[in-house]
Structure 1
């Protein structure tokens, strides 16, 4: 069973409703915007209004081995309207029941010996907010350091690592579980994975259950369409921080000059995503590594919500496959030890929880912290990166900080082939630079230091 923070109750395996932690903008919902996020700029990426805590009429259930899934074995009878397997050949399903009768269905499932667990299909929201456009490298403070030109003492020092020849590798793959990504963006087109085993021909050539997953997969509508425009701004921004192309005389640079990004879209046009699609996306990336030989070293998770057994299991399976899982601590401005946000709060050896700092090393008022649960800080204010429309924009949020740490993990993996998730996490945490604003408010008391990370054996 999951190991949740001691201050949080472990969700019952069956029939429990949990409120979602909503924080799509960089301050708690309903709060007065801070100076880091001007109110009149929120329209560029605003939290959707009235996001439900759970998807109405949907449950997630895991059946025990060799159990046929039907209305009789589940005991639901006419309550079961539809069942959808979340992963090809798996034993976790999304069930559709009449809206308003979810609690009744969960109660029924709790009495069935054929059911391992059942839960509501929770929603999750991205953890960033967009502000202005910019394209100049000199403004990318999060990549700079105290010894770089230009200098930025509270940046990650990635540019100093580049100067020593550490620029990444195309043999390293990173999963971006988020909105879609503009895969033909000038700064991303050469960095997005192409699946050699499944060309776009209308046939599931690699037999993984996804027809033409040539560049990744859209789990919101079950298609290969990874980009629809403005709704995919968040994932495009995150992808650019991890690995926007460098030295191409335009735009921005990512932490990695060379990397393969695998987009898996689960946050939809509504502005949020759900457990079922998140689980499917993570399982897809895990399958690529385990069964397809793709060297997926990390998954970026710049979103948060309620705890889920199915989500926990998917991340645990990713750990078993050798994949690090980097997660946003959340933008609620709370102590995450007492008010955890998931998946960042899962006590798993491959989970790294990240909060944000600004250019002066200060902790924004909206950034979640936790001396026992949030691992480190990284740049998360005024972060410029790629966005939809082949353009660039600035964003605030723990989403952006998370992407810096994911990028650093990929950079380290480029020189440490086969590194385990636990060893990769240990290296990230051991190489932080102590930072006053993070002392006593994070596990390490420090911020991401890419330059120092790349000196570790």
Structure 2
């Protein structure tokens, strides 16, 4: 059975796990199977006006030397911005949060969807109310909006803490299929599991054909996911549209809790004590590759908005080759770098200018097909 484990649901099931678990602390295998997520920790900030704290997270501050994504320059350089929709497949969202309420996307003409998303989770009371009871999805969405303020977010809830790993996987597949058929620009998936799945892979291949970017978390199991025995999916699928992300701290070190892989992980992003929105108009700090993934989704959304002619493969390549190289990432990240939003926008603008908006002269690398995992068909 595939475990679709969430990467950071640190506020879940307080009665079962005490808050304050240290970074890198692992659940036992039985606990992981029962709870279907990987717990790290959360520190909550109360009575903070998140509407005025977009740059309060160190990950988006101007001091690029301390591990941030170098955001302010990127926002200034964007000349035009088309609407970009990011589907956040997660625990839902708080649609009333003052930091997010104006960024909610509702597909036009779809009578089946509520005013803030869809709930595909096992046993959902109402498919039209994907309200976030776990905080994770709202937190991830807040990071994406912090990076690119004009983003539109489609919340697709798949996670039910009482469901089995197989049920959460089935819910994931339903959410992925909806997002791909709808034709969103980007899918943020801050979850995963240790076994590949044929149906999931086929949907992601369809996303690849449609040019949809998928940003996937590398996972928090402290493993090298280059190895077939410790691979993590969907991050380990070798598709040209999947950007796999690990997490680092302010000292430019990969988190002890994060997965890595010099052949699989494309880039790193901030993931330690990241400040973002949580339900009921508050904000809090969470740690892990879930948060790092959201930063990269925000940068990808920025590139797609400013340069809509870019393909998913091109955006992946731009983010990778402009990443700021760090010696500490050697042997752990394919690009050996952390995402640099300003450098990515500058390269996109340069390519766009030289090729008159067509990017015709941009040479893309061949699709990686080596070491493609054997697909296990779900029973």
1:196 — aligned with what?
Answer: 108
State the alpha-carbon separation in 2 of the partners of residues 324 and 448 from structure 1.
16
Q: Give distance in 2, aligned partners of 1:326 and 1:376.
A: 11
Task: Choose between structure 1 and 2: higher strand proportion.
Answer: 1
| More helix as a share of residues | 2
| 1:127/1:302 contact within 8 Å kept | no
Q: Is the 8 A contact 1:128 1:400 kept in 2?
A: no
> Which residue is 1:415 aligned to?
306
Question: Structure 1 length normalisation: TM-score?
Answer: 0.66
SS at match of 1:230: coil
Aligned match of 1:238: 140
Q: Kindly tell me: are residues 138 and 159 of structure 1, through their superposed partners in 2, closer, same or farther at Cα, counting changes over 3 Å?
A: same
Distance in 2 separating the partners of 1:422 and 1:274: 28
Question: What TM-score does the superposition give when structure 2 sets the normalisation length?
Answer: 0.78
Is the partner of 2:154 in helix, strand or coil? Answer: strand
Hey, what does 2:66 align to over in structure 1? 153
Q: Distance in 1 between matches of 2:101 and 2:40?
A: 23
1:325 CA drift (Å) = 0.6
Secondary structure, in 3 states, of the residue corresponding to 1:258?
A: coil
1:455 maps to 2:346? yes
Q: Distance in 2 between matches of 1:348 and 1:129?
A: 31
Aligned partner of 2:270 among 379, 390, 397: 379
Superposition pairs of residues 253-292 of structure 1, within 5 angstroms: 254-270=146-162, 274-289=168-183
Contact 1:328 1:402 in 2 (8 A): yes
Indicate the residue corresponding to 1:307 in structure 2: 196
**Equivalent residues of 1:127, 1:304 under 8 A apart:** no
Q: Which residue of 2 aligns with 1:217?
A: 118
Q: Secondary structure at the match of 2:156?
A: strand
Q: Secondary structure at the match of 2:31?
A: coil
Give the structure 2 partner of residue 83 of structure 1. Answer: none
The equivalences for 1:168-183 within 5 A come to 169=81, 171-183=83-95
**Which of 46, 52, 56 is 2:33 aligned to?**
52
Equivalent residue in structure 2 for 1:396, among 287, 291, 294: 287
Aligned-partner Cα distance in 2 for 1:165–1:343: 31
Query: CA–CA distance in 1 between the matches of 2:299 and 2:217?
Result: 15
Q: SS of 1:354's equivalent?
A: strand
Q: Match for residue 297 of structure 1? A: 185
Is residue 142 of structure 1 aligned with residue 59 of structure 2? yes
Partner of 2:255: 364
User: Quick check: 2:85–2:151 contact (8 Å CA) kept in 1?
Assistant: yes
After superposition, the Cα gap between the structure-2 partners of 1:175 and 1:138, relative to the gap in structure 1 and judged at 3 Å, is: closer
Q: Residues 287 and 124 of structure 1: is their aligned pair in 2 closer, same or farther, counting only changes over 3 Å?
A: farther
Q: Is the 8 A contact 2:271 2:290 kept in 1?
A: yes
Are the structure 2 counterparts of residues 185 and 383 from structure 1 closer, same or farther at C-alpha, using a change threshold of 3 Å? same
- State the Cα distance separating 1:440 from its structure 2 match: 1.6
| Structure 2 unpaired stretches of 5+ | 11-17, 352-379
Structure 2 SS opposite 1:455:
helix
Give the 3 Å change call, closer, same or farther, for CA 175–308 of structure 1 in structure 2. Answer: same
Change (3 A) 1:420 1:145: same
Question: 1:51 offset after TM fit, Å?
Answer: 4.4
Task: Report the Cα distance in structure 2 between the residues aligned to 1:414 and 1:357, rounded to whole angstroms.
Answer: 26
**Quick one: structure 1 residues 152 and 192, their matched pair in 2 at CA, closer, same or farther if it must change by over 3 Å?**
farther
Q: How many residues align?
A: 325
Distance 2:281 2:162 in 1: 22
Unaligned segments of structure 1, at least 5 residues: 1-16, 28-38, 54-122, 199-203, 205-210, 244-253, 290-295
User: Which residue number in structure 1 is paired with residue 20 of structure 2?
Assistant: 41
Q: CA RMSD in A?
A: 2.8
Q: Secondary structure at the match of 2:313?
A: helix
Alpha-carbon distance in structure 1 between the residues aligned to 2:219 and 2:59: 19
The alignment status of 1:132 with 2:44, answered yes or no, reads: yes
Match of 1:322 among 204, 211, 233: 211
Q: Quick one: structure 1 residues 213 and 174, their matched pair in 2 at CA, closer, same or farther if it must change by over 3 Å? A: same
Give the direction of change, closer, same or farther, for the CA distance of 1:374–1:196 in structure 2 (3 Å limit).
Answer: same
* Partner residue of 2:243 out of 339, 348, 352: 352
In structure 2, the CA distance between the partners of 1:138 and 1:265, relative to structure 1 (3 Å rule), is: closer
